[in-house]
Structure 1
Amino acid sequence: MSGSSRGLGKSLATCFGRLGAKIVLSSHNIEELTEAEAELAGQGINVTAIRADVRSHDDCKALISGTVDRFGQIDVMVCNAGIDIIKPAHSYEEPEWDEIVDTNLRGYYYCAKFAAQAMLDQGGGSIIMTSSVASSLGIPGLTVYAASKGGVNQLTRTMAVEWANKGIRVNAVAPGFINNFMDGVHPNLDSPYQRRAMELTPMRRRGNLSEYFGPYIFLASPAASFVTGEILYVDGGYAAN
């Protein structure tokens, strides 16, 4: 699971681990990664941590090969590393564009690519992308993030079609506004941006991390054996509004 040293990723890893899954945590931040590994291990979870910057082709390759070396195969790959920078569309600098797209899109491709190679050898598996409600809606301030997540949706659909008869399912979960989704990225939850998001969410609240466990578990499990190429919105009705 990429991007799993904090926020949604760590919470998902903990949930999967408590259900008996063997977990490989990954992040570019070695300190956070080490702390997360110790936290999960302290709960009796079978966990290994592998540092990887998803923007690096070689790091992603090493992440998957390290997983296979440790556990013998890879059943589920959750592509979850993400970053956004909120600002007007006309003011992004080139390094900001590169950082967002390289993390949110290039990194997802790299992780899915190498995971699929392993899954093809073993006869199948499940790849789950973390997309966003911003992937299909116009949300001011999220231009580059939204573009990257739109790309994630198309990666999901195209890979799903290409690998469907190989036993590999590819789906995405598209969260709406979540408490602690990316810790520290949106510290001001009472900003005009956040208030507007609540106005457009029919349930009139942010999602809690625990409300995202079910969709990921479903897509990872045999219960979703005939589900591939889907973008599952978990957003309190935001995309439907």
Structure 2
Amino acid sequence: MADTTRNSANGAEGYREIFGIDGKVVCISGSSRGLGKSLAACFGRLGAKVVLSSNNNEDLAEAEAELAGQGTEVTAIHADVRSHEDCKALIGGTVDRFGRIDVMVCNAGTDIIKPAHSYEEAEWDEIVDTNLRGYYYCAKFSAQAMLEQGGGSIIMTSSVASSLGIPGLTVYAATKGGVNQLTRTMAIEWADKGIRVNAVAPGFINNFMDGVHPNLDTPYQRRAMDLTPMRRRGNLSEYFGPYIFLASPAASFVTGEILYVDGGYAAS
């Protein structure tokens, strides 16, 4: 296959005939910007029906209009993944709109970089409730729908921080370790019911979680590059393939896996 990693449009089209995403219903939490929005656009170009979700109404409306302008059949549903009822309404709204849910991408996330001893209670709650509670809620309700329809694919966005010690990311890393265990245990529980559960663990990505890391030239960021064997950040388009693969019938015998996409960071 030709190298399509540098161009997001070509990156999507290059997979269209191979992975059979046409007509699938894909819901992505945290998809009003960054990685989630890019994934939504990619799935749309592959012919999927896409449900966007975020707790930022302005960004959500903008993303919906953008995808619709690209020809994607798309709807946007406001949801704060920290809320049990919002997550229930998100999946219910997806099924009401499109009749089913084939793929759930649990992607909404946040982090706060600071020394381990200095987190306030509210900061702990924000990170844990978003990155772990929210993932469980979205997986729980999407699985309920998938059990009724005979199967589906759930994909978690994890992180290299889930299994490596990275200074400044104590709470974030703990939640992502939890996400890995959610992935494995849910995969085992639902394996014989047609539901596959996997995770993608990104390394350091250009434009990942816009606004959370506004300054890319810091000692923290430079250290990350020194520890990445490829000596660069990943481009958003380089994550299309892993998510598409895990969402597709091509991964029909793959469940409970954590796929590191990190330029060799974890291996090093």
Q: TM-score of the superposition, structure 1-length normalised? A: 1.00
Q: For 1:116 and 1:100, how far apart are their aligned partners in 2?
A: 23
Deviations 1:138-194 (A, max 9, x none): 000000000000000000000000000000000000000000010111111110000
The count of aligned residue pairs is 241
Q: How many angstroms does 1:50 deviate by?
A: 0.3
Q: For 1:26 and 1:238, how far apart are their aligned partners in 2?
A: 30
Q: For 2:226 and 2:136, how far apart are their aligned partners in 1?
A: 34
Q: Which residue of 2 aligns with 1:81?
A: 108
Give the match's secondary structure for 2:201: strand
Q: How many angstroms does 1:25 deviate by?
A: 0.1
Deviations 1:196-240 (A, max 9, x none): 000000000000000000000000000000000000000000000
2:157 paired with 1:134: no
Q: Which residue of 1 aligns with 2:21?
A: none
Q: How many angstroms does 1:36 deviate by?
A: 0.4
Q: For 2:210 and 2:114, how far apart are their aligned partners in 1?
A: 18
Q: For 1:134 and 1:117, how far apart are their aligned partners in 2?
A: 29
Deviations 1:17-70 (A, max 9, x none): 000000000000011000000000001100000000000000000000000000
Q: For 2:218 and 2:109, how far apart are their aligned partners in 1?
A: 21
Compute the RMSD of aligned alpha carbons.
0.3
Give the match's secondary structure for 2:92: helix
Give the match's secondary structure for 1:120: helix
Deviations 1:67-121 (A, max 9, x none): 0000000000000000000000000000000000000000000000000000000
Give the match's secondary structure for 2:154: strand
Q: For 2:229 and 2:58, how far apart are their aligned partners in 1?
A: 38
Give the match's secondary structure for 1:74: coil
Give the match's secondary structure for 1:232: strand
Q: For 1:215 and 1:197, how far apart are their aligned partners in 2?
A: 22
Q: For 1:82 and 1:140, how far apart are their aligned partners in 2?
A: 19
Q: TM-score of the superposition, structure 2-length normalised? A: 0.90
2:238 paired with 1:218: no
2:231 paired with 1:204: yes
Give the match's secondary structure for 2:124: helix
Q: For 2:97 and 2:242, how far apart are their aligned partners in 1?
A: 27
Q: For 2:58 and 2:159, how far apart are their aligned partners in 1?
A: 27
Q: For 2:220 and 2:214, how far apart are their aligned partners in 1?
A: 12
Q: For 1:58 and 1:163, how far apart are their aligned partners in 2?
A: 23
Gapped regions of structure 1 (runs ≥ 5): none
Give the match's secondary structure for 1:170: strand
Give the match's secondary structure for 1:106: helix
Give the match's secondary structure for 1:174: strand
Q: For 1:112 and 1:22, how far apart are their aligned partners in 2?
A: 19
Q: For 2:211 and 2:85, how far apart are their aligned partners in 1?
A: 28
